[in-house]
């Protein structure tokens, strides 16, 4: 079938899927921008996502597609507000001891699981036990290993005592999604697929259904302890191609999606689009990188890796792939982080210096310009995920740029779930183009410490530097913000110099949401922080039950 035919088939399937989710859609109405409208309950919001979740258990999930859904279903003790300040969610109040070793949380007494059972301190204790269980395949266990003892002091009081002060404790422990003990006690979390695929949480939305690689549907939790969200249903449509997503947005099969720079700057500027959709652009805490598998001999020479970085024109990527909507990357922190080292500059584009450095690293050039390592041409494969046009374009451009310095690169585009499960987790790759979203606290132990190289852990490039190990541990123990800045500035500088990744660019966040959806208030935290306050006024509901 031709490309246009496939697109039309997807649109047809989209309509069937939405109808199959318990509702039918009608032609959307556009509110008057100058009008005054009151919040109302009801309607649905259909979001586009390029990847299917892998797992809906927060202990096991390690991908952004999974956590986007998980964040709607589960509560944590604390959450970030619009100004990126930690506030209570399941916790009513909390206290840190003078020596910084003990944190005590008082839980709210009106929180119920979506099956009606009360959420208590025993659930928090059970969740922490699960993260610390060495048999559980989680990437987050190191966040809690400094805890010496913990207990549910009573039904609504939980306390954790650390061996020594642990600065990210409030974010790590407070941000831990809470699991229901009564549904999981005594079970193997790794194989509890009835829960991992059909979770029960305490959050504003409850799980309804999941068609693998097609759609996940959530419904508002009427017993949510804060107040039920205005929007009755949230539907995640898996559309792996951003260009098809954009077609479906314009045709009414989606209400919200993350735009590519091309979409934002092109069709997204036209009157027909802006009449129906609001666009949002804000600073990102994400960066895109080219990572090297440091277990491979070819990538173990730092001069060779730096030469690769010199051969890649990152400014051209920002101007071409991002259409100027972003900036060059310099290291493992983005400019939105207080740990960002502004003194570290991007590695410049200098193919001449790159060629010299390849030779210094032990390679040589044949008369025809082919770079040789020993008796073999230098060749490797870059993997990236299907459906992300930015990454696909980036891979193609890098392939061309490295050809100019005598290197043959193959580019493979792989479905997101297969990329993670078959290649990243199993360390079966040469190089990857992927991205990180950073937490608010700049602790990067899970990504860069040499102990975090297990199959489901995040140091999948197998980076090891004793000085970085020392600094990451030190940064977890010092409460003074200025001293931590100095530590993480040094982390930024050292990792940038080691070039385990080529830090390519920091893209701006670009979103489009249908104009019938109101209550969106962009802040320092972006737009999703107050999702339960989003609403569609009466008379503008599109989806009927």
- Which fold would CATH assign to domain 3-52+212-282+509-544? D-Maltodextrin-Binding Protein; domain 2 (3.40.190)
| pLDDT above 80 (res 9) | no
Of all residues in the chain, the percent with pLDDT exceeding 70 is: 95
Q: How much is the pLDDT for 26?
A: 58
Span 279-326, pLDDT tens digits: 999 988 899 999 999 999 999 999 999 999 999 999 999 999 999 999
Span 172-205, pLDDT tens digits: 999 999 999 999 999 999 999 999 999 999 999 9
Q: How much is the pLDDT for 429?
A: 98
Residue 55 is encoded by which pair of tokens? 């797992």
Q: What 3-state DSSP class applies to 367?
A: coil
| pLDDT above 70 (res 21) | no
Kindly report the average pLDDT of the chain as a whole number. Answer: 93
| pLDDT above 80 (res 368) | yes
| pLDDT above 90 (res 160) | yes
| pLDDT above 60 (res 525) | yes
Cα–Cα distance, 510 to 269 (Å, whole number): 13
| pLDDT above 70 (res 27) | no
Phi, psi values for residue 104, rounded to 5°: -120, 125
Q: Cβ neighbours of residue 89 under 8 Å, at least 6 residues apart?
A: 75, 76, 77, 78, 79
Smallest CA-to-CA distance from 342 within 354, 320, 327 is with: 327
| pLDDT above 90 (res 61) | yes
Angle at 236 between CA 516 and CA 384, to 5 degrees: 120
| pLDDT above 80 (res 12) | no
Q: State the average pLDDT over residues 453-475.
A: 95
Q: State the average pLDDT over residues 350-376.
A: 97
Cα–Cα distance, 298 to 431 (Å, whole number): 11
Q: State the average pLDDT over residues 334-341.
A: 94
Contact assessment for residue 398 and residue 382, using Cβ atoms and an 8 Å cutoff: yes
Q: What 3-state DSSP class applies to 319?
A: helix
Cα–Cα distance, 487 to 451 (Å, whole number): 19
Q: State the average pLDDT over residues 76-82.
A: 96
DSSP for 379-445 reads EEEEEEETT-HHHHHHHHHHHHHHHTTT-EEEEEEE-HHHIIIIIITTT--SEEEEEEE--SS---H
Q: State the average pLDDT over residues 498-520.
A: 97
- Provide CATH code, domain 78-189: 3.90.76.10
Burial of 331 (0-12, 13-18, 19+ CB in 10 A): buried
Span 344-356, pLDDT tens digits: 999 999 999 999 9
The structure tokens 């190289």 sit at 453
| pLDDT above 50 (res 15) | no
Span 412-451, pLDDT tens digits: 999 988 999 999 999 999 999 999 999 889 999 999 999 9
* DSSP letter (8 states) at residue 365: E
Span 217-264, pLDDT tens digits: 999 999 999 999 999 999 999 999 899 999 999 999 999 999 999 999
Q: How much is the pLDDT for 545?
A: 65
Task: Report domain 286-507's class.
Answer: alpha beta
Q: Whole-prediction pTM value?
A: 0.85
* DSSP letter (8 states) at residue 523: B
Q: How much is the pLDDT for 299?
A: 98
| pLDDT above 60 (res 215) | yes
| pLDDT above 50 (res 1) | no
Q: What 3-state DSSP class applies to 259?
A: coil
| pLDDT above 50 (res 497) | yes
| pLDDT above 70 (res 132) | yes
| pLDDT above 60 (res 486) | yes
Cα–Cα distance, 43 to 519 (Å, whole number): 14
| Distance (Å) of CA 367 to CA 166, 372, 374, 473 | 57, 11, 15, 49
- The secondary structure element, H or E, covering residue 497 is helix 481-498
Domain ranges of the chain: 3-52+212-282+509-544, 78-189, 286-507
Q: How much is the pLDDT for 25?
A: 54
Angle at 353 between CA 304 and CA 372, to 5 degrees: 45
């Amino acid at each position: 079938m031709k490309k246009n035919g496939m697109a039309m088939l997807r649109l047809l399937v989209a309509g069937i899927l939405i109808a199959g989710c318990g509702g039918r859609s009608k032609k959307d109405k556009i509110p008057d921008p100058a009008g005054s409208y009151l919040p109302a309950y009801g309607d649905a919001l259909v979001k586009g996502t390029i990847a299917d979740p892998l797992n809906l258990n927060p202990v096991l999930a390690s991908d952004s597609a999974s956590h986007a859904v998980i964040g709607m279903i589960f509560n944590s003790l604390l959450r970030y507000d619009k100004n990126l300040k930690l506030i209570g969610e399941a916790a009513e109040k909390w206290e840190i001891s003078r020596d910084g070793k003990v944190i005590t949380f008082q839980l709210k007494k009106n929180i119920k699981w979506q099956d009606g059972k009360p959420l208590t301190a025993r659930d928090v204790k059970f969740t922490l036990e699960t993260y610390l269980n060495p048999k559980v395949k989680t990437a987050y266990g190191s966040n809690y290993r400094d805890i010496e003892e913990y207990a549910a002091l009573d039904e609504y009081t939980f306390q954790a005592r650390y061996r020594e002060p642990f600065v990210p404790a409030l974010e790590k422990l407070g941000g831990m999604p809470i699991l229901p003990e009564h549904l999981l006690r005594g079970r193997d979390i790794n194989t509890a697929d009835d829960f991992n695929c059909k979770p029960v949480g305490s959050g504003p939305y409850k799980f309804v259904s999941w068609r693998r690689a097609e759609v996940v549907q959530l419904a508002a939790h009427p017993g949510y302890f804060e107040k039920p969200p205005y929007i009755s249903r949230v539907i995640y449509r898996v559309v792996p191609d951003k260009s098809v997503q954009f077609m479906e947005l314009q045709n009414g099969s989606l209400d919200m999606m993350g735009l590519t720079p091309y979409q934002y700057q092109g069709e997204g500027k036209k009157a027909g689009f802006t009449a129906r959709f609001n666009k949002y652009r804000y600073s990102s805490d994400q960066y895109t990188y080219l990572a090297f598998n440091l277990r491979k001999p070819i990538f173990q020479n730092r001069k060779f890796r730096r030469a690769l970085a010199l051969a890649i024109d990152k400014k051209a990527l920002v101007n071409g792939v991002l259409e100027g909507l972003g900036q060059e990357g310099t290291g493992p922190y983005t400019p939105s982080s207080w740990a960002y080292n502004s003194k570290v500059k991007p590695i410049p584009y200098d193919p001449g210096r790159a060629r010299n450095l390849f030779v210094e690293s032990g390679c040589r050039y044949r008369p025809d310009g082919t770079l040789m390592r020993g008796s073999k041409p230098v060749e490797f494969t870059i993997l990236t995920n299907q459906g992300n046009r930015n990454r696909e374009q980036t891979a193609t451009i890098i392939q061309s740029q490295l050809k100019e310095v005598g290197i043959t690169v193959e580019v493979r585009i792989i479905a997101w779930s297969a990329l993670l499960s078959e290649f990243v987790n199993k360390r079966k790759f040469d190089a990857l183009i992927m991205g990180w979203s950073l937490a608010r606290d700049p602790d990067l132990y899970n990504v860069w410490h040499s102990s975090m190289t297990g199959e489901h852990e995040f140091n999948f490039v197998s980076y090891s530097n004793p000085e970085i190990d020392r600094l990451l541990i030190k940064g977890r123990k010092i409460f003074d913000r200025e001293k931590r800045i100095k530590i993480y500035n040094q982390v930024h500088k050292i990792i940038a110099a080691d070039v385990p990744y080529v830090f390519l660019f920091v893209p701006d966040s670009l979103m489009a949401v249908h104009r019938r959806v109101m209550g969106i208030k962009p802040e320092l935290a972006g737009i999703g922080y107050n999702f339960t306050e989003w609403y569609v006024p009466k008379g503008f509901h599109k989806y009927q039950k």
